[in-house]
């Protein structure tokens, strides 16, 4: 494969003067593509049963189940079929193939993981590139109002490793009470004490185990460590977080409120995606694992009489392919795509499926309970020229070649994004449970003030280069809920419609306003005053007719410059049989359907208070043991 960078020409015009639209940026992307655009993984694809793909497939909703005349060739059967090679799918493929007699098919709609994803500071380059699904939300009355067409971009990895290949590599587990709440709602086996061993099982922690061996693991597949590179601005902000009264602590130890220099899913200056951690070590060693990339999953095959899953249908190379499962089909396509696959399979809200002519096999609230960790652009601390790290063209080239040789230097970390803080606002009453998380991002102020929307859309500058901190208060406990539906125009290949419904509950807005106010107190610390950081008070359109810094101003900014840190969950909610809002049971089996499970972040009944990649890996670790206990009796 060859990675294709974001298409800046599509967004840039001849009149714009922002850095991303200048010739040097296009030359930089060309250099990155040349040096890092290939994959280290060979494409081990194998065929299943296939027949010619043509427009007749669009009539498959009307086909008579079991009577189709399909010419089969090279029919392949597997014990398990896993749809989606993301954070959960890669873990499942690894753990299930530990049983040598089990044959497992792992399907991924995207391509192999390119080397560009290895470079921590290149994380912004991966969005809108060839390994991003590039989803967009539907317009909403309370969010993303200043964005183009009133839509926010929701990046998801379309690549081996899924979103763990394009995320910011943060390893945070969430609050212990998050999991206890899951268990209290009837999800037996999901309390914090019961899931902690699965976090530890995955982990190969290089920094902390000797301090807290009771919560951290060593020797697992997933490397966890802190970045070795921090510039002076990062360390100044880190000291400022401590001076503000926040305790510096290990935020995976069971206590969250405080600050930390983050642990990350990296190894020696390189990203460690779920693909790198769980698939590469076994890919050429376990003959019972079959991987197919560029395999677009269409539906699960379910017998409408027995209501049992028996295979999967996907498209590859213009062919419609069927693969059959002797034991189970496991959907791990993520919070946005798992609902789509289930609905196309006849599992979902009956009224919605019937509107597309889909035969309803099981009426379930698939696609509902969508929620996310929402945040904003617009709270900025400008740095003085002498500490700004804006590298000129020559410096950036040097840094690229230095990283290529040593996996070190400015590109081996994520700049200020390696800092983290959890705080409580006046709206949170539970002891030691945060409702706001601070992500510290970075930007070039001149570009942002010229065109904040275009600057966000065309962000390709490595995270090492910046002159302004962007303080992002992240809403950890959202009350608003959205829904995923099938695409009205093209339900099969069209992106699902995302109705995020962000800020439909007013308290969500108020928590972020309070988070902004608390963040501004950082400017009073000795470290940031010594650094010379200053609040950027230039009002943003369309909020410039409001007094800067008032609650009304910040509410306008929140609703206009809404963004996300890509923690979408909940659309295949886990819950007991008597929970009418649940899609899967506590063993992640789809209610009312035999031999079908969903294993990914979509099963979270309520989002954890922290980043979601580590919890998703934990979910897959636990699911693997549940599946083994089911079939190895």
Taking the C-alpha atoms of residue 402 and residue 268, their distance in angstroms, rounded to an integer, is 14
Exposure string of 621-631, with b = 16+ CB inside 10 Å and e = fewer, is: bbbbeebeeee
Taking the C-alpha atoms of residue 179 and residue 373, their distance in angstroms, rounded to an integer, is 17
Binding positions for FAD are: 159, 297
Residue tagged active-site, from 128, 142, 567, 591: 567
Give the C-alpha distances (Å, rounded to integers) separating 471 from 141, 349, 410, 518: 24, 40, 21, 11
The residue written with tokens 């005053």 in the block is 529
Question: What tokens appear for 76 in the block?
Answer: 């392949």
Taking the C-alpha atoms of residue 553 and residue 543, their distance in angstroms, rounded to an integer, is 6
Taking the C-alpha atoms of residue 230 and residue 262, their distance in angstroms, rounded to an integer, is 12
Please choose, from the candidates 164, 280, 167, 171, the residue with its C-alpha nearest in 3D space to the C-alpha of residue 225: 171
Q: Catalytic: 567?
A: yes
Pairing of strands 362-363, 347-348: parallel
**Largest alpha-carbon pair distance within the chain?**
76
Question: What tokens appear for 550 in the block?
Answer: 């008032």
* Half-sphere exposure at residue 521, Cβ-oriented, CA atoms within 13 angstroms: 11
Which ranges of 407-542 would DSSP assign to H, the alpha helix? 445-450, 452-457, 506-520, 526-531
Question: What tokens appear for 46 in the block?
Answer: 């194998």
User: Active-site residues: which are they?
Assistant: 567
């Amino acid at each position: 494969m060859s990675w294709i960078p974001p298409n800046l020409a599509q967004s840039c015009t001849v009149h714009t003067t922002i850095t991303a639209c200048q010739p040097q940026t296009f030359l930089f992307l060309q250099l990155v593509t040349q040096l890092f655009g290939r994959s280290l993984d060979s494409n081990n694809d194998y065929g299943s049963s296939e027949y010619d793909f043509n427009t007749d497939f669009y009539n498959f909703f009307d086909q008579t189940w079991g009577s189709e005349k399909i010419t089969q060739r090279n029919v392949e059967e597997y014990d398990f079929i896993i749809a989606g090679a993301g954070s959960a799918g890669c873990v499942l493929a690894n753990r299930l193939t530990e049983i040598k007699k089990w044959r497992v098919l792992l399907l991924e709609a995207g391509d192999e993981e390119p080397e560009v994803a290895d470079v921590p500071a290149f994380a912004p380059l991966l969005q809108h590139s060839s390994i991003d699904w590039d989803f967009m939300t539907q317009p909403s009355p309370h969010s993303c109002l200043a964005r183009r067409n009133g839509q926010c971009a929701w990046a998801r990895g379309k690549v081996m490793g899924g979103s763990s290949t394009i995320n910011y590599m943060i390893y945070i587990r969430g609050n212990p009470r998050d999991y206890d709440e899951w268990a209290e709602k009837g999800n037996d086996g999901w309390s914090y004490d019961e899931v902690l061993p699965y976090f530890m099982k995955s982990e190969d922690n290089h920094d902390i185990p000797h301090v807290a061996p009771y919560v951290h693991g060593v020797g697992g597949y997933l490397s966890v460590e802190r970045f070795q590179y921090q510039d002076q601005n990062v360390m100044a902000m880190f000291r400022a977080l401590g001076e503000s009264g926040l305790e510096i602590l290990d935020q995976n130890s069971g206590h969250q409120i405080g600050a930390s220099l983050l642990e990350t899913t990296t190894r020696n200056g390189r990203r460690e995606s779920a693909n790198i951690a769980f698939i590469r070590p076994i890919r050429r060693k376990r003959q019972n694992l079959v991987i197919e990339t560029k395999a677009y999953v269409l539906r699960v095959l379910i017998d409408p009489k027995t209501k049992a899953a028996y295979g999967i249908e996907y498209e590859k190379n213009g062919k419609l392919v069927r693969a059959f499962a002797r034991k189970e089909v496991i959907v791990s396509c993520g919070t946005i795509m798992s609902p789509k696959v289930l609905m196309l399979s006849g599992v979902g809200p009956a009224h919605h499926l019937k509107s597309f002519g889909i035969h309803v096999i099981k009426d379930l609230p698939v696609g509902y309970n969508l929620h996310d960790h929402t945040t904003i652009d617009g709270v900025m601390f400008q740095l003085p020229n002498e500490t700004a790290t804006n590298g000129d063209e020559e410096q950036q080239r040097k840094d690229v070649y230095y990283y290529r040789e040593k996996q070190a230097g400015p590109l081996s970390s994520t700049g200020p994004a390696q800092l983290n803080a959890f705080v409580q606002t006046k709206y949170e009453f539970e002891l030691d449970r945060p409702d706001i998380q601070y992500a510290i991002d970075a930007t070039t102020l001149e570009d942002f003030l010229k065109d904040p929307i275009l600057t966000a859309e065309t962000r390709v500058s490595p995270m090492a280069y910046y002159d302004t901190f962007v303080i992002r208060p992240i809403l950890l406990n959202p009350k608003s809920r959205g829904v995923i539906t099938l695409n009205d125009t093209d339900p099969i290949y069209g992106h699902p419609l995302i109705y995020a419904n962000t800020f439909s509950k007013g308290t969500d807005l108020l928590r972020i306003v309070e988070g902004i106010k608390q963040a501004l107190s950082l400017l009073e610390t000795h470290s940031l005053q010594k650094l010379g950081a200053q609040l950027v008070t230039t009002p943003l359109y369309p909020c410039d007719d409001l007094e800067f810094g008032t609650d009304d101003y910040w509410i306008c900014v929140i609703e206009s410059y809404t963004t996300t840190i890509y923690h979408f969950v909940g659309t295949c909610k886990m819950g007991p049989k008597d929970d009418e809002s649940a899609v899967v049971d506590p063993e992640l089996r789809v209610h009312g359907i035999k031999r079908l499970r969903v294993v990914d972040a979509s099963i979270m009944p309520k989002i954890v208070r922290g980043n979601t990649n580590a919890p998703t890996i934990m979910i897959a670790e636990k699911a693997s043991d549940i599946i083994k206990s089911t079939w190895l009796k």
